[in-house]
Amino acid sequence: MPDGFSRLVLKQLLDLPEGQLETFEPFADRIIEEARLSWSVYDQDSGRRTLGGIIENIVIDPLIGFGVL
């Protein structure tokens, strides 16, 4: 992950409205955009899904494991 990725994720998490549900896709899309993440594949939708899966594995799953989500 690029430098500052942890800070970017923390900022995105803290910016979420308290008490309101947020779906994963818009959250992941914001992180992908702000971190300027890319996956060099012909099918950009597939690349975006791959990046979303990475964000799910390194951000969301640990939060679930710690009981935060």
Total domains present in the chain: 1
Contact 12, 27 (CB under 8 A): yes
pTM for the whole structure:
0.77
| Mean pLDDT of the 40-67 span | 88
**Torsion of Cα atoms, 11 then 62 then 26 then 33, to 10°:** 60
Task: Name the band, by pLDDT with cuts 50, 70 and 90, for residue 10.
Answer: very high
Structural tokens at position 51: 């990046």
Range 29-57 average pLDDT: 87
The residue segments making up the domain with residue 55 are 5-65
Q: Does 11 have pLDDT greater than 90?
A: yes
